[in-house]
Amino acid sequence: RYWWNRFGPMFASEIRRKRVHQMRAYSKWKWHLDEMFVKINGERHYLWRAVDHEGEVLESYVTKRRNKRAALKFLRKTLKRHGRVDKIVTDRLASYRAALREAGCVSKQETGRWLNNRAENSHLPFRRRERAMQRFRRMRSLQKFASVHSSVFNHFNQERTLSRRDIFKTNRSAALEEWRGLLAA
């Protein structure tokens, strides 16, 4: 159950830091924000997630409520860690609009019927792993799991459909070697 202790969140954050540094050089950085329901001991909690335009999870944050205060805290945390963004795609939850207005980013918000599919589809690998782990018992374990799972998944997720088999295998091997190098250090 405590697999994140084995992989080490320190290494995952180092990988994330490198990726974010590369992404900041990209001028049209678009984020997709979404929240998902997660049950902890039969009680509903919310996992807020920020996904970039390539489908990599940037940030995860667990709260008990789905309101302006929680959205604002999540937004500020994400902006502080990942810097400037061109566009923020959200669903039509009023908490996002209120939080973006307070943060001064309301002009960057986009909403639309299918615009946020990138964030919705990024929930699927998390849900598969959650089901395999037989849910969560505490908010803290959910927060740790969500942050480490996204880093590990981002590192090893190769868009299989976008490249030939030989290139895919080379990229996957390089990712595994980088991961082993980080664990050995």
Render pLDDT for 106-148 as a digit per residue (tens, 0 to 9): 999 999 888 888 888 888 888 888 887 778 888 888 888 888 7
Query: How many other C-beta atoms can be found within 10 angstroms of the C-beta atom of residue 42?
Result: 6
CA pair distance 104, 86, nearest whole angstrom: 13
pLDDT tier at 7, thresholds 50, 70, 90? low
Residue written as token pair 């990229």: 171
**How are strands ordered across the β-sheet holding 109-111?**
57-63, 43-52, 30-40, 87-90, 109-111
Backbone angles phi, psi at 49, to 5 degrees: -135, 140
Whether residue 14 is predicted with pLDDT greater than 60 in this model: the reply is yes
pLDDT tier at 1, thresholds 50, 70, 90? very low
